Structure 1
Amino acid sequence: MSEWKARRFWTEVSTRAAGDGFEVVLDDKPLRSPNKHPLILPTEALARALAEEWRAQEDLIRPLTMPLTRAANSATERVAPQFEDVASMLAEYAGTDLLSYRATGPQVLVRRQAEAWDPLIAWAARDLDAPLRVTEGVIPVPQDPAALARLHDRLRALDLYGLTALHDLVTIPGSLILGLAVIEGRLTGEEAHHLSRIDEDFQAEEWGHDEDAAAVAEGRRLSILVAERLWHLSRRG
């Protein structure tokens, strides 16, 4: 028995103002989330980007080719109903942030991590008012509760699409500081991905590249770039 697949059912794709945002329209029907919630986008730029994803569909609808649409669905159905829980979950990454945990050796890896991550630790202390302790190995190191609280407050202050974008920017590299550095303009998504993989890249240099691991890493890189694009497209003004 063949698997049923959704087929293109519309001819024209357009965008229009809706409430305090914008929506995508397929012929005369506004786009809805899978559970039929209205998809109101905060900016016309984001609405146009979603429209392009739907316009590019041919005979069959291929959700994997519509990452921004999937992100909008996630914002509407998953992040909006539990905004505070998502903000709290992401804030917890600061307590075990990737940048705080350093290798004990070999020295070339220790040096690479210090050169790449120390400036970001300093940036977090200076610009985010969130100094984080750095340690060697994997034994947990306690962080200043006041610094963690300030980071949590920063996440609570984000809008819906900002928090949705930040989710992948934090959870994929395992670092709240890297994610915040991207949305604050300190890093690009590409740079954040590279900085999160210093250990993996070092191991690949030492032991050789693995095609399966490389494919997973590429998928993560692309997801980070989508999240970065979602952030920029969803900014007002």
Structure 2
Amino acid sequence: MKRFYKKAAAEPVAGMDGLYQVVLDGRPIKSPAKADLILPGKALAEAVADEWEAQGEKIQPAAMPLMTYVSTAVDRVEPQREAVAAEIASFAASDLLCYRADRQPDLVEKQEAAWTPMLQWAENRFGGSFTVTNGIMPVAQPNTTLMLVAREVGRLDSFQLTALHTMTTAMGSLILGFSVFDAHKTPDEAFELSLIDEDHQADLWGRDEEAEARRARLKEEVRSAQRLISLLGTA
């Protein structure tokens, strides 16, 4: 799409304290589903406006991750917030960090060193215990833990859920997603922890170009989602 505006900016929404919108040549933008794109805070609105302002002669949606996230929050998450929260919470039942190798002692050692401290952090964070197993056969997590996790996820608003969902799916771990959400780990630190198995196999058999491209894309998604979280916490 060709750029059709000269100036992008953030403006407060009249009569709605603390809420902002992005305007293109003075006209508020809408979400892809034509909903009003009302954003919680000046910092987030300015960051989205900056993405629009940075566009060249042609608009490149892929270069506007924050715009994508806020649109997703408004169009897809808010109308079904409880269902999205339940989907995110369900990752706790099969979190990556709970599944360890069973026939590769050197990999088990790496997993133990990297993941066990994260599980301990998560148990303190949520107030429940996680069950660890060796192999790929499913293991049931304590119902109390699953309920505690679901309660925490259910407290988040649509923008926070969008960010957490992105990170959780990118890393295959709700625990790692929350570690970034809580600023316990940086996006890069958490993402590297999610790749213990992948890195071990790559060290044995070599790296694949397609896998490396996917890895770079997912890493950037985690970074962008963390930026959304940080902007939500800024007035």
1:219 lines up with 2:217 in the alignment: yes
Name the SS of the counterpart of 1:172 in structure 2.
Answer: helix
TM alignment of 1:143-182, pairs within 5 A: 143-182=141-180
1:50 lines up with 2:45 in the alignment: no
- How far the C-alpha of 1:88 sits from its partner, in A, is 0.2
Residue by residue over 1:174-194, the C-alpha shift from the partner in whole angstroms, topping out at 9 and shown as x without a partner, is: 111111111111111111110
Partners of 1:99 and 1:43 in 2: how far apart? 35
Partners of 1:193 and 1:214 in 2: how far apart? 13
TM-score, scaled to structure 1: 0.95
Give the structure 2 partner of residue 24 of structure 1. Answer: 22
Identity %: 41
Name the SS of the counterpart of 2:57 in structure 1.
Answer: coil
Structure 1 residues not aligned, in runs of 5+: 1-5
- How far the C-alpha of 1:13 sits from its partner, in A, is 1.3
Name the SS of the counterpart of 2:12 in structure 1.
Answer: strand
Partners of 1:35 and 1:185 in 2: how far apart? 32
The ranges of structure 1 where at least 4 consecutive aligned residues each deviate by more than 6 angstroms after the TM superposition are none
Name the SS of the counterpart of 1:15 in structure 2.
Answer: strand
Structure 2 residues not aligned, in runs of 5+: none
**Counterpart contact for 2:43–2:234, Cα < 8 Å:** no
The two structures, once aligned, show a CA RMSD in angstroms of 1.0
Residue by residue over 1:39-84, the C-alpha shift from the partner in whole angstroms, topping out at 9 and shown as x without a partner, is: 1111111111101100011111110010100111100000000000
- How far the C-alpha of 1:236 sits from its partner, in A, is 4.6
Give the structure 1 partner of residue 129 of structure 2. Answer: 131
1:41 lines up with 2:35 in the alignment: no
The count of corresponding residues between Structure 1 and Structure 2 is 232
Partners of 2:27 and 2:53 in 1: how far apart? 14
Partners of 2:196 and 2:183 in 1: how far apart? 21
